[in-house]
Amino acid sequence: MSNKNPYFQQQKNASRRTAILVVSISSLFCILLIAFLFAISNDTNTTGEKVKSDDIIDLLSMPSNDLESVAIDSTDLGIELPQGGWIQQTDSNGKLIQQYRCQSLDPNPPLRSDGWIEMDKPEVELYFGNKKIVITGNSAAANAPKRILESGSIDGNVRVLVFEINDTGITDKPLMELQTTIAKFDNLIGEINCPGEVRITSDTHVLEGRKLSVRFNDLEERIELVQLEELDYILLSPNNKTTPSSVATNTAPVAAAETDPFSSSQSVATAPKEFYIATFDKNVTIQQGLTKISKLAHGDKLTIAFSNESKDTTAKTYYERPDTTMHIPQIALTIPATIVAATLANNQIATDDSVKVTCEGGLTLIPLYDETRLPSSKQDTRVELFAFKDEPATILDSDNLLSAKGTLLRFELPGNKIDLYGSPAELYKDSILTSAGHLWVAQNDGAGGAHGPGTMTSKANENRQTTLQWSDGVDFSFAKSDNNKDGALQSVVCNGDVILSDQGNDILCEQLEVHFEPDLQGASAPKNALASGNVKAKSDSQTLWANTVEVTFIDTDKTLADDGSMFGGSHADAMKAIGDVQILLNDGGRAFCDTLDGHITQDSASLSGNVVIAYQRMLMNRGDKASLTLDRTTGKGRWEGAGQAMFLNEPLDVSPDRRIERPTLRSVDDSKSISMRTNWEDSMHLDQTYNDGAGAIDLRGDVRVLSQRSAQERSQMTGNDLRLEFSQTDDIRELQKVIAKDNSQIEHRTWDILLPENPPVVYYIGGNHLEFEAKTQEALAVGNGELVLRDPRRASVEVHQSALAGRGTTRFTWDNKLKTTKLEGNTYRLEMSGNVEMVHKGLDGAIGMLTSDKIQAIAIDPDIPTNLDSSGAELTMRGLDLQQIYANGRVYVATQTRRVDCDDFEYNLKTGFAKLTAKEDNTIAIVTEGTSYPVRATSIIWNMDPAVDTISIRGLQGTNN
């Protein structure tokens, strides 16, 4: 006979249909094995080419002399069923495809129309691939005109058993078993119904429900519908899974396996790709643990989408739990990698712990045509849990202290990709709440993240809350590992308007990238973090801006570091900021540099590359080759290298809470914009805590201070060491005191605005230790020193001129100290002690001298402006006009006309009179030019006007011969 015999061809179609239904559905929670009830049918007997299987059919129609048989007289059926024998069908190679038998057969049952048959104790065996299917029941009735089983039912104790076939034979223990009370089938429309109870069991699964319907599309050779209207539950107990034992007995000649029953007779390469979707409807609950619920998922609907090439979903769902739990650090929880452990029992279930699935709306399987619902590839299976209309889908994991909720949870396997959607979706793990519109993780790819804006908040400590937020999503990666175990977290990248906040400390940037490595406890701990793109880091006392900031971490004992922060037991150790670095200091200043190296554990930082420090009225620059080290704990800093500090007439605005342009001053504007300029060669020390935070600066190495209020005035202060001390009132920082040491000098020069070519008026102080009060213009010189007053201007008639006073040059020297005190307005008192010497040279060349143990002088600054703006900083020492001179102790006065020794000398330059006195038991000795002997007296009044130059003697004691 031709191998194109339609009967044989339809018989093969029935077997292929059976294979498609059974294997595909059993792979989907093993609930659709009832499709094997299609296997009983035979197709129309028409003439065609004979094949080997036709020989078996022809043989069955002949009486057998070797076997007991039951004769069947029906001409419609036309077969004779041997007692206890099998009706078999083979493939074209003679290998057994199916066989069936029954205890008895009634070809003409009463109360049934023609073509119907009834069987007692039917038994059907099907062979395909590496599976053997056994179907039994108490009875069966079928409409079989012309030997074709068109419709019918199997009634009473219907059982479907699936056995595995391996190299040694058929296992004696079934992989799964289906039980029902009645199964109705109609092969003409490709439909089967089980209206009663349905129970499917295996070593790892139990399903119970009612009203099962299956419909097959004969033309497209695919499942059209599988529906279980009432699902009581599905129980998954994967730890009960055992390897079935095999026996070599009763091994039938099995046909060569087609590993994918969906592929029909076509090869895997040419088979059409068909997708299906199974739906659990209404109030779906998935729980792990029957006595103690450890995991719970709840949603309105659960769908499973797969193709005819999808991998086995059940075999890949469970894998062994890692030997040690991966302690994901808190910052990594912006990525919901732990959703894997909370859904679909993706971690190995604990001993005697099972997963139970229930729903109220039943289960449906249909072909899937919607491309948006398809898995990522034809090998993947997509599982989706949907939210209710008025509440989200939820996941609770008490073992891992995890919870999640959203509008949709999606899981694809064997690719092991998880997606959590919501408005937003929320994940709570290890006291960290993560929120985003879309959270995802692809285990096999070692990647995951969050799409769109999102936040993460640490809630471990009510008194300390860490928050991380972003606008353009998060990406993360983790190492791949064997046995499908979670790999260690490697990196996390947050994108777009990233803000990390912790106890008032904030980090803002466009991208934050964190890398991880195993810590002392084996958990993933942050190794380093890189913030880039307009970075801003703000603490309680400082704010930093940079193009990039890199932070490295150190591992600490978690038992000692559980402070509720997002970084747990990991602490930041060092920081490096690069590119237009700016630091807003707690004293109101702002530092600029190219690179900053910070030591976080030591609270210190080093600035290098074009270092600049700016305050409201001070600017430090020329730090191209300098480095600045700041210690936040002590509030002190050190500038290594040469530099310049400029004190400004107009304030700089360095306080904005944003990055600003680096301040620069053009040389053409220096005279107007700079009140004082300081240069040094070696180093600068900054003390931010001095004077309640007003600050102080110490400069070393050939220090020069220049002050120029106008084109006619210039002051200068020099020394190897110089200290600038500040005061602050109402957030305004002012220069309070200047201290110069080691060969220090203060000099002020003033030029006549009408006669600028004339020599300037000079005020000069020199010594080893000089102090100058900027606001009061008071000075202090400690140790040896000198004071020089030079006024070359032509004297007016109102100005007193004498050998010791008036226009010209006056020089004071001392061994102990000089102190100037502002009395009132522009009046000052000068006090000098320790071998004080005063020498005056008038404009006419006349020289006078005064020496004493102490000299006190009253002087005025005739050129001090009445509208002096004290908010600036300058050395405003000007020429002083002496008004009075007091000398005490061993006084000696010498002019061109007289020489005097006395104890006290009081000279009033306004009147021109000097009063000379002696202490008790002492006398004044005065020698007049042209006389040989001194005159002695107790007191003398001396009119020192050169035009008069007379003395009045009181208490004359005579002369010495």
Tokens (6 digits) for 894: 């010498």
- Residue 31 burial (CB count, 10 A): 24
Say if residue 234's pLDDT is above 80: yes
Cross-strand partners of 416: none
Say if residue 378's pLDDT is above 90: no
The CA distance from 169 to 177, in Å, is: 19
Task: Please report, for the chain, the start and end positions of each structural domain, with discontinuous segments joined by +.
Answer: 6-255, 275-584
* Residue 255 or residue 800, greater confidence: 800
Q: pLDDT, tens digit, for every residue of 113-124?
A: 888 888 899 888
Tokens (6 digits) for 187: 């092969």
Share of the chain above pLDDT 70, in %: 73
The DSSP code sequence of 800-864 is: ---SSSSSEEEEEEESSEEEEEEEETTEEEEEEEEEEEEEEEETTS-EEEEEEEEEEEEEE-TT-
> Which residue type sits at 154?
I
CA dihedral of 132, 134, 140, 144, whole degrees rounded to 10: 10
Q: For residue 183, which phi and psi values (nearest 5 degrees)?
A: -130, 120
> Residue 261's pLDDT band (boundaries 50, 70, 90)?
very low
Q: Which long-range contacts (CB under 8 A, 24 or more apart) does 830-836 make?
A: 830/787, 830/855, 830/856, 830/857, 830/858, 830/859, 830/880, 831/855, 831/856, 832/787, 832/856, 836/812, 836/887
The CA distance from 203 to 63, in Å, is: 44
Tokens (6 digits) for 436: 């985003």
The CA distance from 178 to 176, in Å, is: 7
Please state, rounded to an integer, the average pLDDT across all residues of the chain.
75
Tell me which residue of 373, 441, 387, 382 sits closest to 412, measured CA to CA: 382
The CA distance from 374 to 196, in Å, is: 33
The CA distance from 101 to 959, in Å, is: 167
> Residue 959's pLDDT band (boundaries 50, 70, 90)?
low
The DSSP code sequence of 532-575 is: EEEEEEE-SS-EEEEEEEEEEEEE--TTT--SS-TTTTEEEEEE
Say if residue 443's pLDDT is above 80: no
Say if residue 754's pLDDT is above 70: yes
Q: pLDDT, tens digit, for every residue of 64-111?
A: 333 333 333 444 443 445 555 787 778 788 888 778 788 888 888 888
Cross-strand partners of 894: 849, 899
Q: pLDDT, tens digit, for every residue of 515-567?
A: 877 766 666 677 788 999 999 988 777 889 999 998 887 766 544 445 545 45
* Residue 863 or residue 615, greater confidence: 615
Q: For residue 788, which phi and psi values (nearest 5 degrees)?
A: -120, 130
Tell me which residue of 542, 518, 514 sits closest to 528, measured CA to CA: 514
Do the Cβ atoms of 211 and 184 come closer than 8 Å? no
Three-class SS state of 922: coil
Q: What is the mean pLDDT of residues 723-736?
A: 82
Provide the pLDDT for residue 260. Answer: 38
Provide the pLDDT for residue 203. Answer: 81
> Residue 319's pLDDT band (boundaries 50, 70, 90)?
very low
Provide the pLDDT for residue 921. Answer: 84
890 to 411, 787, 849: CA distances (angstroms):
105, 21, 14
The DSSP code sequence of 336-393 is: -TTHHHHSTT-SPPPTT--EEEE-SS-EEEEE---GGGS-SSTT-EEEEEEPPSSS-E
The CA distance from 587 to 613, in Å, is: 12
Say if residue 138's pLDDT is above 90: yes
> Residue 281's pLDDT band (boundaries 50, 70, 90)?
very high
- 414 prior amide bond cis, ω within 30: yes
Say if residue 175's pLDDT is above 80: yes
Domains 6-255 and 275-584 share a fold: yes
Provide the pLDDT for residue 313. Answer: 42
For the ranges 146-155, 276-285, 830-839, 945-954, the lowest mean pLDDT is seen at: 146-155
Instruction: Provide the pairing of β-strand 827-842 with 847-860.
Output: antiparallel
| Owner of token pair 């009983």 | 40
Say if residue 241's pLDDT is above 60: no
Q: Is 653 exposed, middle or buried (0-12, 13-18, 19+ CB in 10 A)?
A: exposed
63 to 88, 89, 428, 520, 722: CA distances (angstroms):
16, 18, 75, 82, 128
Provide the pLDDT for residue 961. Answer: 53
> CATH topology for 275-584?
lipopolysaccharide transport protein A fold (2.60.450)
Tell me which residue of 104, 83, 98, 120 sits closest to 38, measured CA to CA: 98
* Residue 337 or residue 563, greater confidence: 563
Q: Check if CATH label 3.30.70.1060 holds for domain 6-255.
A: no
For the ranges 12-21, 47-56, 737-746, the lowest mean pLDDT is seen at: 47-56
The DSSP code sequence of 682-714 is: SEEEEETTHHHHT-EEEEEEEEEEEEEEETTEE
The CA distance from 183 to 178, in Å, is: 11
| Owner of token pair 């106008």 | 710
Q: Measured over all CA atoms, what is the biggest interatomic distance in the chain, rounded to whole angstroms?
A: 185
* Residue 714 or residue 282, greater confidence: 282
Q: What is the mean pLDDT of residues 267-293?
A: 74
